[in-house]
């Protein structure tokens, strides 16, 4: 399948940059592009809807070739915020208006692209994925994943997951007070990329994590586990995996490449 692979990510998103670089190796450098959210805010937009309700979009960011929705094979969205740089010196009221207009425009564009966007706004209708604890815990429980019956708290990098911020369980389990005051050791992760699962616990929990991700309508997730008692227990689900490790970059890149080639 021909077409452009577009990575929407912040300049400091090293994981997205690594995925874009690997996709360029797999698909050809001329097919892969990166855009920052600031570039979206500075771009000239043409967003039209025809008489049949079909949308078509073209955007031209500074010093870049046009991006046409019809030319896009896939968009990986890693947007966390969407600034409007042109309005930095405007009044607060005008900045808020510009922000809301840009949010609506980018959301409409990505919705237009349907399943070509990861994650799809047609399945998960927020520009920046929202994943409350109760949502991921419920989906995981239905998939048969052991979930910590606890409060998730931010922990130092080294406390739970190597070189990453993670969530630790510190409340009660089935036995009242069983986890209170106890250290919770990291047990590993499962990275889900579409139908694929990788990581330390993928062999035992990968299939269930893929099922939970499908239920959440978010195909790219990192499931983080701590050892509670004798088994790994889920303590956090991250919708923006850092993708620092080479195997993580390879897993995501191979999945995206297979998706555009029709082999996912």
pLDDT digits (tens, 9 = 90+) for 224-259: 999 987 789 999 999 999 999 999 999 999 999 999
Q: pLDDT tens across 108-142, in order? A: 999 999 999 999 999 988 899 889 999 999 999 99
**Given this model, what pLDDT does residue 53 score?**
78
Other residues' Cβ atoms within 10 Å of the Cβ of residue 22: 19
Length of the chain: 264
DSSP 181-203: T---EEEEEEEEETTEEESTTHH
Residue 92 confidence (pLDDT) above 90: no
- Give the containing element (helix H, strand E) for 254: helix 246-260
Q: pLDDT band at residue 9, thresholds of 50, 70 and 90?
A: very high
Q: Looking at the predicted structure, is the pLDDT value of residue 150 above 70?
A: no
Residue 247 · residue 179 · CB < 8 Å: no
Cα distances from 251 to residues 121, 158, 190, 192, 196, in angstroms, run: 23, 24, 11, 9, 8
Across the chain, mean pLDDT equals 85
Note the pLDDT of residue 152: 40
Mean pLDDT, residues 16-45:
95
Residue 97 phi/psi, 5-degree rounding, is: -65, -45
What is the DSSP track for 115-178? GGEES-TTTS--SS----HHHHHHHHHHTT--B--S-EEEE-HHHHBTTB-EEEE-S--SSTTS
Which residues, including other chains, have CB under 8 Å from residue 156's CB and lie 6 or more apart?
Answer: 165
Top mean pLDDT of 13-22, 76-85, 140-149 is at: 13-22
Q: Hey, how many other C-beta atoms are within 10 angstroms of the C-beta on 233?
A: 20
**What distance lies between CA 27 and its chain's CA centroid?**
21
Show me where the domains of the chain are located. Answer: 4-118, 133-239
Asked whether the predicted pLDDT for residue 213 surpasses 50, the reply is: yes
Q: Provide the pLDDT for residue 154.
A: 36
Q: What integer is the mean pLDDT of 7-19?
A: 97
Higher pLDDT, 58 or 183: 58
Query: Is 263 within 8 Å of 196 (Cβ atoms)?
Result: no
Contact 4, 72 (CB under 8 A): yes
Residues 110, 77: Cα–Cα separation, whole Å: 9
pTM for this structure?
A: 0.84
Q: 202-216 and 133-142 are packed helices; what angle lies between their axes, rounded to 10 degrees?
A: 120
Q: Give the model's pLDDT for residue 146.
A: 94
- Residues 6 or more apart whose CB falls under 8 angstroms from that of 77 comprise 8, 110, 117, 118, 119, 127
Mean pLDDT for the stretch of residues 197-226: 97
> What pLDDT is recorded for position 231?
86
CA distance 182 to 213: 30
Report CA-CA distances (Å) from 243 to 52, 72, 248. 40, 23, 5
């Amino acid at each position: 399948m021909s077409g452009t692979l577009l990575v929407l990510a912040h300049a400091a998103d090293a994981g997205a940059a690594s995925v874009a670089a690997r996709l360029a190796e797999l698909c050809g450098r001329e097919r892969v592009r990166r855009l920052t959210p600031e570039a979206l805010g500075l771009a000239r937009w043409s967003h039209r809807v025809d008489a049949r309700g079909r949308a078509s979009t073209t955007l031209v960011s500074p010093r870049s070739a046009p991006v046409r929705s019809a030319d896009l094979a896939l968009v990986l969205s890693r947007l966390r915020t969407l600034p409007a740089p042109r309005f930095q010196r405007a009044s607060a009221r005008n900045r808020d208006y510009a922000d809301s207009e840009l949010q609506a425009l980018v959301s409409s564009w990505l919705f237009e692209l349907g399943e070509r966007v990861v994650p799809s706004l047609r399945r998960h209708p927020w520009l920046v994925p929202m994943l409350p604890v109760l949502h991921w815990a419920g989906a995981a429980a239905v998939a048969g994943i052991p979930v910590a019956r606890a409060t998730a708290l931010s922990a130092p990098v080294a406390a739970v997951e190597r070189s990453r911020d993670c969530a630790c369980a510190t409340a009660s389990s089935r036995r009242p007070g069983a986890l209170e005051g106890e250290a919770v050791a990291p047990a590993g992760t499962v990275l889900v990329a579409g139908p694929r699962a990788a990581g330390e616990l993928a062999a035992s929990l990968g299939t269930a994590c893929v099922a939970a991700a499908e239920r959440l309508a978010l195909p790219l997730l990192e499931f983080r586990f701590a050892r509670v008692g004798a088994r790994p227990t889920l303590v956090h689900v991250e919708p923006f995996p850092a993708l620092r490790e080479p195997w993580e970059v390879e897993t995501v890149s191979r999945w995206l490449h297979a998706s555009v080639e029709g082999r996912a």
